Structure 1
């Protein structure tokens, strides 16, 4: 919106003043209350239009983020927790059954020791009453008792250890990723992380290096699967990743926290068999040997086997003899 200037008190054009040019303001911008000449007012208006277009783009990005957060309903998430509960219960029951079987075997060995000892006892009583024994009999009984003593010690060393130190509050990890800005910045903004949603690639240098390995320095990645969040079973991986590609798989080792992984452009699937991927590679970010960040490409003659899709397995990429 613009208004005519009061010609009895002319003022300098704001743009001309900034450019150290001479120009009289003839129109006032209702938004910033600055005056502009006929030349610079359209340029000022174009700048406002450009800012508005950027706002529309930010609005669209926020709508995309909002839709992603609504991808799973509460009932779906609760169903996943229920499935996880059943899986954990099945694992516990398998462990209980195996432990009971082992305990039964141990008690059977103890009963066998008692049975053999009873036979020796009866034999000794008979021989003692009849004095029908010699040195060889005594040596044999000594040997039998020594063997039973050792067998009894082996049985007695069995100890029951029940792990009661499990922190059940940490078995299920629910993470909320908080954005620092109310509206997402434009694409390729230096403030926007290249890997969105994950927690393993917080190091900006790691993000940049992985994009360099891919040959796409400004690529942005969004987390689609996380083991501690979505489950470690093969069906969990395929439920979230089938049909998705290119993907970057990042793995953190237990305890030491070293980071490594793999990249493939082939969308994941549950169709068993090898996949040809000329751009697949493995990488190490941190490792116990203090090697630098390194990319391991697949040997050309093995690229047809670079990626293996298996319905009952998670991500499988390459093997040692396939690397260059």
Structure 2
């Protein structure tokens, strides 16, 4: 420290000044004390920020599921499951409607066949041709009923759920 009378950096008065090695500025004694207090406050702020950062780091290590990305992944999962449930419910309703119509159609064909059988039976006109025809019609109705290819599930090659992935730019 030098004790030459020079201009104080803060108050601009010519006084005995003391040089601050950190900033290389000259301060009178009162202002040097204030300057040191300011540096101490700034240092304490840095320590406080350091402590807050360390606490945040520790909390993140202990509870990574509280991070915004983890929460975003959970939200994506919930939204995707909701979409799947809605789609499944719509498919069930469509299936039930189509299946009912399909069964009504099969039942109509079967009832028609039963009427034919009763008519042949009542008129007692059984012959090989009738029996062959009845067998064939029953086989066709049975095949249509068992095959039930009129109703099927189609899977779209385009996904209806947005895919997500986690990427890192770390080396």
Q: TM-score, normalised by structure 2?
A: 0.52
Which one of 33, 36, 48 corresponds to residue 24 of structure 2?
A: 33
Corresponding residue number in structure 2 for 1:15:
10
Secondary structure of 1:11's aligned partner:
strand
Distance between the aligned counterparts of 2:15 and 2:155, measured in 1?
A: 84
Within 5 Å, give how 1:41-52 maps onto structure 2.
41-52=32-43
Larger Rg: 2
Corresponding residue number in structure 1 for 2:132:
none
Runs of 4+ off more than 6 Å = 126-130
Offset at residue 161 of structure 1 (A): 5.9
Offset at residue 49 of structure 1 (A): 0.7
The alignment status of 1:66 with 2:57, answered yes or no, reads: yes
Contact 1:27–1:37 (CA under 8 A) maintained in structure 2: yes
The alignment status of 1:5 with 2:5, answered yes or no, reads: no
1:5-37 CA-partner distances (Å, limit 9, x unpaired): 163xx42110112xxxx2324211111100100
Runs (5+) with no aligned partner, structure 2: 126-149
Which one of 146, 150, 159 corresponds to residue 166 of structure 1?
A: 159
The alignment status of 1:117 with 2:82, answered yes or no, reads: no
Within 5 Å, give how 1:54-203 maps onto structure 2.
54-70=45-61, 71-72=63-64, 95=88, 102=96, 107-122=102-117, 160=152, 162=154, 164=156, 165-168=158-161, 170-172=162-164
1:18-77 CA-partner distances (Å, limit 9, x unpaired): xxxx2324211111100100111000000011111111221122223223322138xxx7
Which one of 8, 25, 44 corresponds to residue 53 of structure 1?
A: 44
> How has the CA–CA distance of structure 1 residues 25 and 160 changed in structure 2, closer, same or farther, with 3 Å as cutoff?
farther
> How has the CA–CA distance of structure 1 residues 167 and 53 changed in structure 2, closer, same or farther, with 3 Å as cutoff?
farther
Contact 2:18–2:26 (CA under 8 A) maintained in structure 1: yes
> How has the CA–CA distance of structure 1 residues 167 and 174 changed in structure 2, closer, same or farther, with 3 Å as cutoff?
farther
Distance between the aligned counterparts of 1:128 and 1:38, measured in 2?
A: 132
Contact 1:29–1:35 (CA under 8 A) maintained in structure 2: yes
Contact 1:13–1:24 (CA under 8 A) maintained in structure 2: yes
Contact 1:5–1:28 (CA under 8 A) maintained in structure 2: yes
Runs (5+) with no aligned partner, structure 1: 131-157, 177-324
When you count helix as a share of all residues, which structure comes out higher? 2
Question: How many pairs does the alignment contain?
Answer: 127
Distance between the aligned counterparts of 2:57 and 2:167, measured in 1?
A: 16
